[in-house]
Structure formats: C-alpha cells, structure tokens
C-alpha cells in the first residue's frame, strides 16, 4: 500500500474503555488493518477472553491454540503464539482463547504479575511498527498488564448518553500506572465511534468530548455503519470486507491521523479533570 510515516520506535497502543460495546475491538482491528495496508508491520494482541479481535481477524482461537494466555501464565514466548492475518500483509495477531478468563485470577499470585505482557513484548524480536492491545471491558490485571506494556492509550468513545460516565476510573488507573509502573503512559488518542451525525445527541456528546479532551480527540469520527458490524462474521475487517464503504474510509482516515501525529507531539502528560 501507499506509505504512511513509519514510527522510529514501535508504538504500543492500549485500546481501553471499561464499558463494553463502545467499539474497542472494532477500532483495534480496523486501525491495525489500515496501518498494515499502508505498509506498517502491526501486531494485534487480543487481551479479551471473548476473543472477538481474533475472530474479526479470521484467526483460529479454539481452546487448544497457543494463545496470549500461555504467554501471560506460562511465560511462553510471544513469537510462539503469533499468527499472520491471512488477507492483510504485515498484520499479525496473538489470539485470546477462553482460558484467558481464568488468567485474571491466576495472575494474582504470580511474580511480576503486572508486567508479564510488557516482558513478553520486549522479548519479541520481529520488527514491529505498531502493537495494538485490545482490552477486556474491565480494569483488572489483564488491563493493568496492557497499561504497563504500552505507552499510549487509545480510548474509543461511543457517541451516546453517558458516554463519559465511568471514564474517570480508567483515567485514574492510567495515572496510577504512570505514577508507579510506567512513567511514559499517557492518553494519546480519543476516537468517537458509532457517530450518527443526524442526531443532536451525537453532536452534543462529540462537542462535550472535544471540549474535555481537546487535541487528543481525532478529527475523524467513525460513523455507525452496517458494513462495520457485518465484517467480523466473515472473519474480516471492514477494510478488506468493503474497502470503499464509509466505515472503511473513516477507519483508514483515523489511522492516517494516528500515523501522522506520531508519538513526539503527545508526550505532554495527560491531565484529567472531572470526567465520570
Ligand atoms: P467493545 O470491544 O468495546 O465491546 P465492539 O467493537 O465489539 O465493542 O463493538 C460492539 C458492537 O458494535 C459489535 O457488534 C460491533 O460490530 C458493533 N459496532 C462497532 N462499531 C460500529 C460502527 N461504527 N457501526 C456499527 N456497528 C458497530
Ligand atoms: Mg471487545
């Protein structure tokens, strides 16, 4: 594909929001595919026991498949669980299997329980431009592992009533992890998802989010689109399923913004206000 600026160092982005159904997984796989189609090497780490990101990328993740569970709990090298995504060159996935649900509890008694994912990524030797980590809708040890491993947090926000509700806890966790475990961590990117420009509510929420977060909010928002929601059932991202659709084009544009922003611009530590 046509080139986008390549980061000098691997950018590790944690896609998080403890609310379910806001577009975390959809954003993870479609931003990842967009970046890969523009020539980047991208690894998606599926950290949700539901395995929705693995499904959406057409990656086998039945119970016996080597998975991110083995990496976190049995210290298996990440390279042994990573699979290539067949229809997108440069895109890879570390799948989640259902046993990951138990990892949340198994990790509690383990040494360096918060930094097991970070260590696994650091030991991974293949060159990567981006790692995108799809978090579960909770703030437990799996999400903490992601926040310790990453430098950037990408928060998808669904444009509906109560959109900001509960975000305060995520932002507090980001602050805690930055203070104690990972000084580079910051909220770099906010993406408005399922945006319906015809409703007043959506534009009001968008305005509220923009006034609260300012420059972290991408100019591009993702429209509500049937094509986006259909794609996973074909084991595809919307980028390959229907490249000309409004959903695909908006994810490609959002990925372009992310690539051009780079990391340097956003190293100002994020200061959170009274959200949620
Ligand atoms: P999360 O990972 O935060 O739980 P998902 O990405 O799984 O959220 O999205 C929740 C549901 O909404 C899924 O069924 C998904 O296909 C659908 N969805 C996500 N984004 C869009 C969109 N822009 N338009 C239509 N449906 C969407
Ligand atoms: Mg999800």
What ipTM did this prediction achieve? 0.99
pLDDT at 194 over 50: yes
pLDDT at 218 over 80: yes
Query: In this predicted structure, which of 1-15, 38-52, 79-93 has the lowest mean pLDDT?
Result: 1-15
Q: Which atom of ligand 1 is nearest to the CA of 26?
A: 6
Q: Which atom of ligand 1 is nearest to the CA of 230?
A: 16
Is any atom of ligand 1 closer than 6 Å to the C-beta of 26?
yes
Q: Which ligand is nearest to the CA of 17?
A: 1
pLDDT at residue 272 in the model: 45
Is any atom of ligand 1 closer than 6 Å to the C-beta of 194?
yes
Q: Over pLDDT 70: what percentage of the chain?
A: 94
Q: Identify the band that residue 162 occupies on the pLDDT scale cut at 50, 70 and 90.
A: confident
| Euclidean distance between CA atoms 135 and 156, whole angstroms | 11
Q: Are strands 83-84 and 91-94 parallel, antiparallel or unpaired?
A: antiparallel
| Euclidean distance between CA atoms 138 and 142, whole angstroms | 8
Q: How far is the CA of 127 from the centre of ligand 2 (A)?
A: 26
pLDDT at 200 over 70: yes
Query: In this predicted structure, which of 84-98, 133-147, 175-189, 259-273 has the lowest mean pLDDT?
Result: 259-273
pLDDT at residue 263 in the model: 54
Q: CA angle 211-217-219, nearest 5°?
A: 105
Q: Which atom of ligand 1 is nearest to the CA of 134?
A: 2
Q: How far is the CA of 19 from the centre of ligand 2 (A)?
A: 9
The rounded mean pLDDT for the chain is 93
Residue 247 to residues 11, 89, 242, 243: CA-CA distances in angstroms? 24, 21, 9, 8
pLDDT at 87 over 80: yes
Q: Which ligand is nearest to the CA of 46?
A: 2
Residues 6+ apart with CB under 8 A from 153: 13, 14, 16, 147, 174, 185, 186, 187, 188, 189
Is any atom of ligand 1 closer than 6 Å to the C-beta of 52?
yes
Q: Which of 264, 228, 201, 207 is nearest to 56 (CA)?
A: 228
pLDDT at residue 275 in the model: 43
Q: How far is the CA of 25 from the centre of ligand 1 (A)?
A: 7
| Euclidean distance between CA atoms 207 and 153, whole angstroms | 21
Q: Mean pLDDT across the stretch 176-187?
A: 96
Summarised one tens digit per residue, pLDDT across range 26-40 is 999 999 999 999 999
Instruction: Specify whether the CB–CB gap between 252 and 220 falls below 8 A.
Output: no
Topology of 11-259 in CATH?
Rossmann fold (3.40.50)
What's the pTM?
A: 0.94
């Amino acid at each position: 594909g046509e080139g986008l600026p390549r980061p000098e160092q691997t950018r590790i982005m944690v896609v998080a929001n403890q609310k379910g159904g806001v577009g975390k997984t959809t954003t993870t796989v479609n931003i990842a595919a967009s970046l890969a189609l523009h020539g980047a090497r991208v690894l998606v780490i599926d950290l949700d026991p539901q395995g929705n990101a693995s499904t959406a990328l057409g990656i086998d993740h039945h119970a016996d498949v080597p998975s991110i569970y083995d990496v976190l709990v049995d210290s298996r090298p990440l390279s042994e669980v990573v699979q290539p995504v067949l229809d997108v060159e440069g895109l890879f996935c570390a799948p989640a299997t259902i046993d990951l649900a138990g990892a949340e509890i198994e990790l509690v008694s383990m040494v360096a329980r918060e930094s097991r994912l970070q260590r696994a990524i650091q030991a991974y030797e293949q060159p990567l431009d981006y790692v995108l980590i799809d978090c579960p809708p909770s703030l437990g040890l799996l999400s903490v592992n992601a926040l310790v491993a990453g430098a950037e947090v990408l928060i998808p926000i669904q444009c509906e009533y109560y959109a900001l509700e509960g975000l305060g806890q995520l932002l507090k966790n980001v602050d805690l992890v930055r203070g104690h475990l990972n000084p580079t961590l910051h909220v770099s990117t906010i993406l408005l998802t399922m945006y319906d420009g015809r409703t007043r509510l959506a534009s009001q929420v968008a305005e509220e989010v923009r006034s609260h977060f300012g420059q972290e909010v991408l100019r591009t928002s993702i429209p509500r689109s049937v094509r986006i929601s259909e794609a996973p059932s074909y084991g595809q991202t919307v980028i390959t399923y229907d490249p000309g659709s409004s959903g695909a084009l908006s994810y490609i544009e959002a990925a372009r913004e992310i690539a051009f922003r780079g990391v340097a611009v956003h190293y100002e530590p994020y200061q959170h206000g009274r959200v949620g």
